[in-house]
Each structure stands twice: as C-alpha cells, then as structure tokens.
Amino acid sequence: MQVSLSDTGGLSRRLEVAVPATEVTREVQQRLKKLSRTARLKGFRPGKAPLAVITKQFGDQVRAEVLSDLMRSSFAQAVTQEKLRPAAGPRIEPIALGPESDLKYAAHFEVLPEISISPPESLAMERPAAEVTEADIDAMIENMRLQRPVYTVVERAARAPDRVRLDYQARIGSKPIEGGDLTDVHVVLGSGQALPELEEGLKGVSAGEQRTLAVTFPATHPNRKLAGQSAELHLSIKAVEEQSLPAVDEEFFRTYGVEQGGLAEMRAEVRKSMEQELAEVIRSRMRVQALDALYRSNPIDVPQALIEEQVQQLQIETARRLGIRDASQLPRPEAFLEPARRRVALGLLVTHIVQSQGMKVDRERVLARLNALAEGYPNPDEARRAYLQNPEALRQIESAALEDQVVEWMIGRAHVTERPMSFAELTGFGRSAAPADEHAHHSLHDGVQAAGEGQQQYEAGST
C-alpha cells in the first residue's frame, strides 16, 4: 500500500492511498469462492454452481463491496502509519477503480489540533463568599407566603392584586372558535400572566358584569386556531376575590412538608434548603469561571466538521427546549456558530487535561450525579435502573463527572480570591416571587436537584 500525505491548510489534510490491484483481485476471488459454497442458483444444487457462473452473477456486487471495505481498512491503516488523528470521517475522492488497475483514492479530512495547556497557576478567579442570615430566612418565608395567597370573595370593583373569576367566549369576526370558550378562568390583576388587553380590561369590573374586549393572541398560544389571531373576548364576570397572605401557622408549615416542630423546624428546613442552593450557586459560578478561563487562555484551531455537528445539536436542543417543531422558526445556523465552537474547543481542552493528567472517572461522583438525576423523577429507583441500563446515558454522566474533576483541578491551582456577597446578590433571590418560592418549595419536598448540564459532553459554559 502506498500513502502520500499533504497539508491542505489549517487542520485539513489530503491522504492519497494506492492499494495494489493484486490485493483487490485476491480479496474478490476469496469472497466469490466463499459465496459459491452457499449460493442458491436456479438449475444448480446449493453450493454446486461453477465459480464462473457465480462470478458472472455476483462479480460486480462483490467487487464493489471489496473496494468499499478496502478503502475503509486502508484509510485506518494509513492514518495509523502517518500518526494522524482524524476529527471526523473522511470525504473520499475516487481516483482509479478499474478492474485491471490499482485501487487509488484521496481522502480529505480534518485532524484534531495539537494542544498545549497554559499553566492553571497563572489564572485568577473570584470565589463568591456569602452566608444565609436570619433576615434572608425571613425574606424567604415571606416570599413563600406570597406564593400561597388566600382569596376571599368581595362585593366591590376589582383592583390589583385581586383575582377575577370569569367565563369568556372568543370570537373572530363574530364567529365562534372551536376551543375558544373557557369557563372559570382566574386572572390575578397585575400578575402579568394573562393577555395584557385582558388584564387591563378587567380593572374595575364587578361580579355579574359583562364586557367585550379586543385582544390579539400570541403566536405561541397553545390553541393553534387562536395563535396570532385578533379576536373579541366576551366576558362574564363571576366573582372578584381579594388577596391576603396566609398566616405563618401549622397549616402553612404542613403546606411545605413540615409536620412537626413548628416555626423553629420550618426555619431550620428553609435554612438548609437555602444553604444547599447557595453552595450550588457558588459551585456553578466557579465552574463557569474555570471553563471561561480555560477557553480564553488556550486558543486552539477547531475542526469545522465538529463545529457543524454541534451547530446541528444546538439547533435540536433549542427546538426541544422551546417546543418548536418547525425548523424555520429557529434562529439561523450562524447564530449557533460561536456557542458550537466554544463547546467543541472546551471538549478538546478538557479531554487533553484528562489524558495528560491521567485522570480516571470518580465512581462516587458518577453515583452522586446518577442519584441526583434519578431523584428528579416520580420513581427514583426505576429511573436509576433505566440510566444504568443505558450505556450512552452513563457515558454522558461519566463525562460530566470528569469535567467536574477537571474544574476542581484548575480551581485548586489557580489564584482564587474571595468576594463578599449577600445571599440575594448571589442567587438573584427577590427579583421575582415565583422563582424564589420555587426554590424553597422544591428543596423542602424534593431535595436538591443536580445542576443542569444538559448531559452533553463538555457543554459547560457554552451559552
């Protein structure tokens, strides 16, 4: 086998390979002989057809299979011989495939870049330093009260933050719409959860009143017949309900899973939840810093083939996350190029550190990640078994665990200073009521959820 290698710019390579015609012929003849022992042809007993007949019947097909197999095996042998590391499969350019000539072809492909990591000791990072105070717990409990409001019917005009209970019929051009009539709809004034025109039109309404409003439904409305449509809503107001907050009492505690111990136990559980969240936010921030620093301080060439693969993957993930089925609604591929490049580069850099430092996956980390993922399902034991029986899912968990080990390796060697912060500054608590309560509610009932990695190998920090 003859091999000729040329550099075609950047990471691109052209590998020309020639396989002697004698080797091709020999392999074709061996396969035809093997086939003749089992072939069933009309007029011949099984395995008794003459080789000449077998060759005439199957020769072209067998030769095509041999050429394909020899290209694959000779390419693998050639890249080993030349000590190359292809980034993806090659594009094959046939040169000579004739029956009397050597098999010749050119393989065009990209190689993985040579990587040298800057010493992590030269990196500077900032670790947030915060603690959960009694005032933070007070604020969290108050926020939890806000998420469990009590509504009482009142005989007056509606004002924020009252809740209005109503029926409505949607009409487009005076025609009713299938699925456009709803009963017992609840709208909290000032919450921003309903159509703006609807919230505005409910101000000052009273029970028993009828109103007609002009609205435009959003393009993302779940009822496709209403999505993006301008319509009239015919409202029948059934009740106006005044909002008040629940008392911090035994019933309130039970709402959040605290059956005994009263306020002291409730505060202890809230503190535990907040401290777990705080620790996770700090870990996440340090992880982002470490991977940002790794990416910035180690610029490398990235194979275009791998970037294109990741662009497609990011498009799929975005469509799934946003519930988009029509690909035309996604941003243009160019919008994903930089995140894709970053994801690929980080993957290569992390892999280099793992290999150069001889890191092995920490089984305890894998088990911890697996358990955290399983706890997010209604039946954790069943989910755990499903993960264990899925080799690809396990590989993704192991990759994420290895990435965590690389992050800790970097942080342990970098110059890290502490930056004092409050719980609210660090977690964003208080920016909106719902997320804060959601943290408290899920922590008390479901435990700490694993940080969202997407379970994509080396995805960290790509968005």
Structural domain boundaries enclosing 366: 120-141+252-446
The mean predicted confidence, pLDDT, of the chain is 87
By the 8 A CB rule, do 403 and 458 touch?
Answer: yes
Residue 301 in tokens: 């060439």
Do 334 and 383 belong to one domain? yes
Strands (E), 252-343: none
Which residue type does 71 have? M
* Neighbouring residues of 441: CB distance < 8 A, sequence distance ≥ 6: 144, 147, 256
Mean pLDDT of 161-178: 87
How far apart CA 202 and CA 189 sit, in angstroms, is 8
Residue 453 is assigned to a structural domain of this protein: no
In a domain, 451, yes or no: no
Residue 179: give its domain's CATH number: 3.10.50.40
Place of tokens 């020899």: 70
406-446 pLDDT tens trace: 999 999 999 999 999 999 999 988 654 333 333 323 323 22
In a domain, 454, yes or no: no
Q: Are 179 and 62 within one domain?
A: no
What's the rounded Cα separation, in Å, for the pair 309 and 341? 10
More confident residue, 209 or 45: 209
Tell whether 455 is covered by a domain.
no
Task: Look at residue 458 and tell me if it is in a domain.
Answer: no
Assigned token pair, 264: 């002291």
**Whole-angstrom Cα distance, residue 178 to residue 196?**
23
Burial of 168 (0-12, 13-18, 19+ CB in 10 A): buried
104 and 233 assigned to the same domain = no
In a domain, 460, yes or no: no
Over residues 206-238, the pLDDT tens digits come to 999 999 999 888 887 777 777 888 888 899 999
| Cβ atoms of 387 and 400 closer than 8 Å | no
- Give me the pLDDT at residue 225, please: 75
306/390 Cα distance (integer angstroms): 25
pTM score > 0.75 for this model?
no
Question: Average of pLDDT values for 121-140?
Answer: 94
Q: Are residues 289 and 237 in the same domain?
A: no
38 and 58 Cβ atoms separated by less than 8 Å: no
436 shares a domain with 407 = yes
Q: What CATH number has the domain bearing residue 81?
A: 3.30.70.1050
| More confident site: 385 or 225 | 385
Number of compact structural domains in the chain: 3
